[in-house]
A = this chain, B = another copy of it.
Amino acid sequence: MTDMTDARTYDVVVIGAGPVGENVADRARAAGLSAAIVESELVGGECSYWACMPSKALLRPVIARADARRVPGLRHSVEGPLDATRSSRTATSTPRTGRTTARSAGWRASASTCTAATAASRAPARSRTPRRTHRTPAPGPPRGGRLHRHPRRPADLPGLADVKPWTSREATAADHVPGRLLVVGGGVVAVEMATAWQALGSHVTVLVRGGGLLPRMEPFAGELVQEALTETGAEVRCGVSVTAVERENGTVTATLDDGSALQADEILFATGRAPRTDDIGLETVGLEPGSWLPVDESLRVDGSEWLYAVGDANHRALLTHQGKYQARVAGAAVAARAQGVPLLETDRWGAHSATADHAAVPQVVFTDPEAASAGLTLAEAEAAGHRVRAVDYDMSGVAGAGLYADGYRGRARMIVDLDREILLGVTFVGPGVGELIHSATVAVAGEVPLERLWHAVPAYPTISEVWLRLLETYRG
């Protein structure tokens, strides 16, 4: 199908060798297409080196220690502060040098077996004569999960450049513990890094522009995380914006819009993301550099016959796992079109539609307590026009939760589509819910009727029994 004697001709050229790009190339190759990956930094992407893996490795000891301390008979034997330099993070990846350890290399090997058939180049990628290839900008490298290389910072914030603020990269890579850390933002990166550095010994103050933490989840998620952060000694200030920053003799001073000022040793900006599509030549194909790229359900850029946008660049769901999901869908769609096979566009949940991007996105926030969700929040479901009912349950009433942690605090909510009697979304907040959420993802993506969920019996005594309580609460 491809003239392999011309090494510069490929069926598919992928920009970005993160997990998303690798998955696209993998799928294309599995379908018999040739594929090249272009990468300007490290094969493996943001996720492996600067985002998901090191941040979760930083958080795992925090959560495991908190879990142990909540177990009677064990509480008193877990002593001493966490040591950042001995943490899992160090063993997982060494972001400053980009050296790949066995673990992340192993992860990459399992994520992609197509390297033999693809080419990776460190040259910046620009469009030249791309009309005959399928190009898939996964913003190079794809920005794993919620962290990314160039966080959006208030560009006009006075003094910003001189302050040398932390981005998510420094927050996961720093090898010293600042005495005082300011965290600007209230989203996932902000709360995870606040949790980590407070546990590592910093005094953390979180500055949130809006009314609370984790604004994209159900309101109680941010409330419970804020309550717990506060109990560990961190401060959370809502409804404030930073208007200026300066650093003098090592100390950062942040001025707020209420006129007050705060001092700290480091300041982390975790205030959002910008699409990294500014330097890939979008202008050569009539698109605006630096913009998000709207796509259809097969991840093909609106108005294009050959250009796909997979991962953060399309702004559908800025999460590593969802980008990899899109990669599978896009790879299948590219292959089908190359082979002249009609796309199953009428099948909403077929292999060529990234339907879960709208209906069943899961997310786990690795804080203490963990906050996990799948599908829509109540507000999202209502905004989408569904006739719904939110069913809440206090997870401290679940026997398995009480066994898991003394004084367990947590809350669950499921959003019932009253017309179809299926679930549109589920949120769990509490210790140990990070793996439990996949049951919700299966229920939501599988559109399993509530009537049938009664037959999905939770093992006793696990935290999963919250499912039974939710069903009972719904039935009344």
When chains A and B are docked, how far (Å) is the Cα of A68 from the Cα of B91? 16
**A67 partner residues in chain B, CB cutoff 8 A:** 64, 67-68
Q: How many residues of A contact B (CB 8 A)?
A: 93
**A406 contacts partner chain B, Cβ-Cβ < 8 Å:** yes
B435–A457 contact, CB under 8 A? no
Chain B residue nearest to A404 in the complex (CB): B60
Question: Known: A74-B64, A351-B451. Is A364-B403 also a contact (CB below 8 A)?
Answer: no
A84 to B437, CA, bound (A): 32
Other-chain contact of A319, B88, B324, B460 (Cβ < 8 Å)? B460
User: A384 in the interface, Cβ–Cβ < 8 Å?
Assistant: no
- The smallest C-beta distance from A141 to any residue of chain B, in angstroms, reads 15
- With A61-B71, A88-B403 as known contacts, state yes or no: A446 contacts B453, CB within 8 Å: yes
Q: Are A362 and B90 in contact (CB under 8 A)?
A: no
**Looking at A57, A60, A322, A458, which has the most chain B CB atoms within 10 Å of its CB?**
A60
**Chain B: CB-nearest residue to A70:** B64
Q: Give the distance to chain B from A57, nearest Cβ to Cβ, in Å.
A: 6
Residues of B within 8 A of A360 (CB): 455-457
**CB-based contact B64/A86 at 8 Å:** no
Residues on B with C-beta less than 8 A from A399 are 52-53, 103, 107
| Assembly CA distance A76 to B372 (angstroms) | 30
Q: Are B403 and A60 in contact, CB atoms less than 8 angstroms apart? A: yes
A465 is an interface residue with CB less than 8 A from chain B: yes
Distance (Å) between the CB of A21 and the closest chain B CB? 15
* Shortest distance from the beta carbon of A271 to any chain B beta carbon, whole Å: 23
Are B88 and A72 within 8 A (Cβ)?
yes
Query: Are the CB atoms of A321 and B110 closer together than 8 Å?
Result: no
- Cβ B77 vs Cβ A364 within 8 A: no
- Tell which of B73, B103, B458 touches A362, judged by Cβ atoms closer than 8 Å: B458
Query: Looking across the interface, which residue of chain B has its beta carbon closest to that of A396?
Result: B106
Which chain A residues in 45-86 approach chain B with CB under 8 Å? Answer: 47, 52-53, 56-57, 60-61, 64-65, 67-68, 71-74, 76-80, 82-84, 86
A128 at the interface (CB under 8 A from B): no
A residues with a Cβ closer than 8 A to B are: 47, 52-53, 56-57, 60-61, 64-65, 67-68, 71-74, 76-80, 82-84, 86-88, 90-92, 103, 106-107, 110, 144-145, 319-322, 324-325, 328, 349-351, 355-356, 360-364, 372, 397, 399-400, 402-404, 406, 432-439, 441-446, 448, 451-465, 467-469
Not counting A71-B88, A321-B458, A437-B459, a sample of 11 additional A-B residue pairs whose C-beta atoms are within 8 angstroms of each other reads A65-B68, A65-B74, A73-B83, A77-B78, A88-B403, A321-B465, A356-B455, A438-B456, A438-B467, A445-B453, A446-B446
